[in-house]
C-alpha cells in the first residue's frame, strides 16, 4: 500500500513473520533499483530482420538491467579462504552491476551447445540479466524490448544453446592504447532472466590433463563407494537458505572488537574526524520531520512542499 504524508510517497510492505523474510527485506536495500538508465546493451546479429540493402554491421540491441545474485565474499574482511581479495572493478575481466555508473556492452559473437561448455572455465560472480525498466524509454520501446528479451530466452531454451559474448572495453589501456577484451557466457533459464558469467580465455588458461574414466572397477572398491553414496540424503534441488556458516556472528564479533579497540585507545591518539563543511545554500534536511504535535509555523503546507526532477523532496528556504 502507498501512503502519502507531506507530499512523500511511503511504500508499506507486508512480510511474513520469520527471520529469513526480514533478512531478505533488508538485503533488498543492497540492490540498485534505479531506473534512470539501463545497465547493459546486449548486442545481437540483426539476422533477417533488416532490409536486404541495409548495412551488414547493423546489430539488434536489447536494453537490459543487471542484478547481483550474491554478495562478494572477498568484500567481507577475513571471511574468504586463501589469498582472495576484492575484485578490481577497473579490470577488463570484471563487470560490476552496482552502482550502474557505466553502461556495459556485450556483443554476442557465437552460439554454444549447452552440453559443450565445461564449468571449469567459468569464473567470478554471476549476474542476472533482465529487460530494462528505464523510465526514460517510451512505453512502446519498453514493450518491444521486453517481448524481444522473452523471445530470446524462449529460443535459447528450445535450442539448448548458450551465448558467447565479448565485452566492449570502456577505455583503452595506458600501455600503447591496447584494447583488452573479456568474454562471457550467457545462460538461459526457465524464468524471464539470463545468467552471465565470465569465461576463461587463452591467456588465463592453465595446462591440464584429464585421465580417462575407467569403464570397470574392482568390486572390492565399487561396493563401499556405492554404500557410502546410498547413505546420503538426496535433495531434489539445492536451497542455500538451508545452510548457515555463522557469518553474521563472525561479522558482529569483528565489529565489536574493532569498536572496543577504538574506545580503549587514548583520546590524543585517535584519528581526528573532520566534518565536511556544508554549503550555505544546501537545505538543512532532505526529509520533512514528522512531529507529534505540529504547529502551523513549523510544518509547511502541502502546497509549499515540492519535488525536483529527480524525485527528491525540497523544503522551502528559511
> Distance between CA atoms of 196 and 211, rounded to whole angstroms?
30
Q: Whose CA is closest to 76, among 284, 315, 252, 257?
A: 252
Containing structural domain, residue 121: 34-73+87-205
pLDDT of amino acid 272: 61
Whether residue 235 lies inside any domain: the answer is: no
Write down the pTM of the prediction: 0.68
- What is the rounded average pLDDT of the residues 273-290? 45
Evaluate whether residue 220 is within a structural domain: no
Q: Which residue has the higher pLDDT, 5 or 230?
A: 230
Band of the pLDDT at 274, cuts 50, 70, 90?
low
Q: Is residue 56, in this structure, part of any structural domain at all?
A: yes
Confidence of residue 96 (pLDDT cuts 50, 70, 90): very low
Residue 231 inside a domain? The answer is: no
Residue 127 lies in a domain: yes
Q: Is residue 257 part of a domain?
A: no
DSSP class of residue 202?
T
Cα–Cα separations (whole angstroms), residue 254 to 70, 76, 245, 257, 259: 21, 11, 15, 5, 9
Residue 232: pLDDT band with limits 50, 70, 90: very high
Least confident of 19-23, 224-228, 279-283: 279-283
Compute the average pLDDT of residues 135-158: 95
**Residue 109 domain-assigned?**
yes
Domain of residue 163, CATH code: 2.40.290.10
161, three cell numbers: 544453446
| pLDDT of 291 | 43
Under the banding of pLDDT at 50, 70 and 90, the label for residue 260 is: confident
**b/e per residue 207-244 (b: at least 16 CB within 10 A):** eeeeeeeeeeeeeeeeeeeeeeeeeeeeeeeeeeeeee
Q: What span, in angstroms and rounded, lies between the C-alpha atoms of 97 and 33? A: 11
Give the C-alpha separation, 252 to 153, whole Å.
Answer: 41
Closest of 187, 179, 69 to residue 125, by C-alpha: 69
Average the pLDDT over each of 78-82, 164-168, 184-188 and give the range with the smallest value.
78-82
> Containing H/E element for 221?
helix 219-230
Q: What's residue 313's pLDDT?
A: 41
Q: 2-5 and 313-314: which strand pairing?
A: unpaired
Q: How much is the average pLDDT of 244-263?
A: 83
Separation between Cα atoms, residue 222 and residue 227, nearest integer Å: 9
Contact 293, 305 (CB under 8 A): no
The number of distinct structural domains making up the chain is: 1
The reply to whether 121 falls in a domain is yes
Amino acid at each position: 500500500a502507498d501512503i502519502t504524508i507531506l507530499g512523500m510517497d511511503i511504500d508499506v510492505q507486508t512480510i511474513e513473520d520469520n527471520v529469513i523474510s526480514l533478512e531478505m527485506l533488508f538485503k533488498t536495500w543492497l540492490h540498485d533499483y534505479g531506473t534512470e538508465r539501463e545497465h547493459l546493451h546486449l548486442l545481437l546479429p540483426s539476422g533477417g530482420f533488416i532490409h536486404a540493402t541495409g548495412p551488414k554491421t547493423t546489430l539488434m540491441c536489447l536494453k537490459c538491467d543487471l542484478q547481483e545474485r550474491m554478495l562478494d565474499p572477498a568484500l567481507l574482511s577475513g571471511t574468504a579462504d586463501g589469498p582472495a581479495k576484492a575484485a578490481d572493478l577497473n579490470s577488463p575481466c570484471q563487470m560490476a552491476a552496482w552502482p550502474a555508473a557505466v553502461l556495459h556492452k556485450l556483443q554476442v559473437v557465437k552460439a554454444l551447445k549447452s552440453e559443450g561448455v565445461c564449468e571449469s572455465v567459468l569464473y567470478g560472480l554471476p549476474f542476472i540479466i533482465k529487460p530494462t525498466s528505464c523510465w526514460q524509454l517510451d512505453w512502446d520501446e519498453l514493450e518491444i524490448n521486453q517481448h524481444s528479451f522473452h523471445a530470446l530466452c524462449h529460443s535459447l531454451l528450445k535450442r539448448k544453446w548458450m551465448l558467447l559474448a565479448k565485452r566492449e572495453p570502456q577505455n583503452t589501456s595506458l600501455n600503447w592504447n591496447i584494447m583488452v577484451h573479456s568474454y562471457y557466457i550467457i545462460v538461459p533459464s526457465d524464468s524471464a532472466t539470463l545468467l552471465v558469467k565470465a569465461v576463461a580465455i587463452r591467456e588465463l588458461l592453465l595446462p591440464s590433463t584429464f585421465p580417462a574414466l575407467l569403464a570397470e572397477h574392482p568390486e572390492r572398491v565399487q561396493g563401499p563407494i556405492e554404500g557410502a553414496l546410498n547413505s546420503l540424503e538426496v535433495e531434489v534441488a539445492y536451497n542455500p537458505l538451508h545452510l548457515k556458516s555463522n557469518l553474521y556472528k563472525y561479522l558482529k564479533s569483528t565489529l565489536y572488537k574493532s569498536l572496543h579497540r577504538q574506545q580503549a585507545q587514548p583520546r590524543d591518539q585517535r584519528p581526528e574526524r573532520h566534518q565536511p563543511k556544508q554549503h550555505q545554500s544546501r537545505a538543512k534536511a532532505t526529509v520533512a520531520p514528522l512531529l507529534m504535535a505540529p504547529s502551523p509555523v513549523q510544518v509547511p503546507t502541502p502546497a509549499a512542499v515540492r519535488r525536483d526532477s529527480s524525485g527528491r523532496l525540497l523544503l522551502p528556504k528559511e
